[in-house]
Structure 1
Amino acid sequence: MSEIAARYRSRAEIFAAKVAAVRPEQWSNPSPCEEWTAREVVGHIVDMHGVMLRPLGRSLTPAPTVEEDPLTAFVCARADVEALLSDPVTAAREVDTPTGRLSVEQHIDQVVSADMVLHGWDLARAAGQDDTIDPVEVKAMWPKAQQIPEEMRTPGAFGPGIVVFGPEVKVPDDAPLQDRFLGLLGRDPHWSA
């Protein structure tokens, strides 16, 4: 298993555990993502799994919808992406992405795999779960977070209705690294419903 596939698997396990821990009455809770409920956070992650398949002319395998069964919808989408990562030829294939040509596995690593870390925090906040992000993840992702180009904060830069990152939320320089990381990604680390 490649390092990227192992990282994806670890992040997916953590995200799946958060989805599984959401109680039925919490699915309509607001999340730190403006205009998204807890269910819609999971829907976004499932949709982004489908986006990873599109450059290969594929789509998600038919499965229950996020409205019907959020956990099963995620597990099925995850299986589709893990199938790409487990095939060395497919994983290495170069595809066109909004940020240029990348291998399939690089695209997955930079988009949906990383998304699960941030949106795992969103889901945890929405459902009142432990929202601690693995400090190793935060430390590893911190350098790139400090270099987010302005176009990534511009609504619609990658298509109608697409917002990649919101405006930076100012956080004190002496705040914990997770808080500073979240602020750079457009999250208020003290957000509550």
Structure 2
Amino acid sequence: MWEQTSAPAAGVALLERAIEYALGGLRVVTPATLCRPTPCAGWNVQRLLDHMADSLQTLNDAAGGHITPARAGVPRDRARDRTIPAPADVPPDHACDRTIPAPFGGLPGGNPALLLRDDATEVLGLWMGTLTGARLVSMAGHHLTSPMVAAVGAIEITVHGWDVARSCGEHHPVPPLLADELLDLAHLFVTAEDRPHRFGPRVKVPAHAPVQDRLLAYLGRDPNWPACP
């Protein structure tokens, strides 16, 4: 099994590559893009960034050996965020759910992309501390190895990094080597039970499609999803 044979260092290295890729796509996030729709049905960029922050917090917890299952409908701690009414000129189909983070600058909310970068730096620092051995991570009475958790985290962080960049009109392809490795892992870790809650139905693409397209399709994305104008 993958989780039994992979060294902790390999899991951390994979997670680091995934986070590096995802953060590279966040540079195009602006106040105007926060209300745009995303490949995640029903989610705008603001909500997707919040979800990515939740995922990083889960990885943060996992580095300590315990994951607290997310509670449906309970938002993350937004104590460091300040919100303002959504601009009146935002089209209805791009509307945020009543508020958007404050404009980037000196306000307390700051740039949510930079906040995620801070979160990611913290996560990687904690995961470096797991290199001494493949520890077990407890979740709802089940025990997972740390390389397995890192692999699942890398899949989610990567695909959401693509989601954000695509939603903001950025062409930010997943590096082929990373996409190839994640596709193999996705076949192991993403099952029918994960659909449609964590990932949408598999999208059909040609067998000879680029590995990024096959990864995205397996994770329920249309590789040609149209970016907002």
With the length of structure 1 as denominator, give the TM-score of the two structures. 0.79
Shift of 1:187: 0.6
Q: Distance in 1 between matches of 2:198 and 2:151?
A: 12
The 8 Å contact of residues 16 and 75 in structure 1, kept in 2 or not, is answered as yes
Shift of 1:127: 0.6
Shift of 1:44: 1.0
Which one has the largest radius of gyration? 2
Show structure 1 runs of 5+ residues with no match.
Answer: 156-162
Q: Distance in 2 between matches of 1:5 and 1:38?
A: 27
Report what 1:76 is aligned to.
Answer: 118
Inter-CA distance 76–61: structure 2 relative to 1 (3 Å threshold): farther
**Alignment size in residue pairs:** 184
Equivalent residue runs for 1:116-127 within 5 Å = 116-127=157-168
Q: Distance in 2 between matches of 1:131 and 1:82?
A: 22
Which of the numbers 117, 128, 132 marks the counterpart of 1:86?
128
Q: Distance in 1 between matches of 2:223 and 2:141?
A: 28
Report what 2:43 is aligned to.
Answer: 36
Shift of 1:136: 0.4
The 8 Å contact of residues 38 and 164 in structure 2, kept in 1 or not, is answered as yes
Which of the numbers 194, 198, 202 marks the counterpart of 1:152?
194
Inter-CA distance 165–75: structure 2 relative to 1 (3 Å threshold): same
Report what 2:143 is aligned to.
Answer: 101
Shift of 1:62: 8.9
The 8 Å contact of residues 56 and 120 in structure 2, kept in 1 or not, is answered as yes
Report what 1:168 is aligned to.
Answer: 202
Report what 1:110 is aligned to.
Answer: 151
Structure with more of its chain in helix, by fraction: 1
Query: Percent same amino acid at aligned positions?
Result: 28
The 8 Å contact of residues 29 and 38 in structure 1, kept in 2 or not, is answered as yes
Show structure 2 runs of 5+ residues with no match.
Answer: 1-7, 69-75, 82-99, 102-108
Q: Distance in 2 between matches of 1:169 and 1:7?
A: 25
Inter-CA distance 146–86: structure 2 relative to 1 (3 Å threshold): closer
Which of the numbers 10, 19, 22 marks the counterpart of 1:12?
19
State the SS of the aligned residue for 1:101.
strand
Inter-CA distance 36–141: structure 2 relative to 1 (3 Å threshold): same
Which of the numbers 116, 125, 131 marks the counterpart of 2:172?
131
Q: Distance in 1 between matches of 2:46 and 2:27?
A: 12
Per-residue CA deviation, residues 81-118 of structure 1 (Å, 9 max, x unaligned), is 123212137874312236942234531x1232221211
Q: Which has the higher contact order (CA 8 A, sep 6+)?
A: 2
The 8 Å contact of residues 67 and 138 in structure 2, kept in 1 or not, is answered as no
Inter-CA distance 176–53: structure 2 relative to 1 (3 Å threshold): closer
Per-residue CA deviation, residues 134-161 of structure 1 (Å, 9 max, x unaligned), is 00011112223345321111x4xxxxxx
Shift of 1:133: 0.9
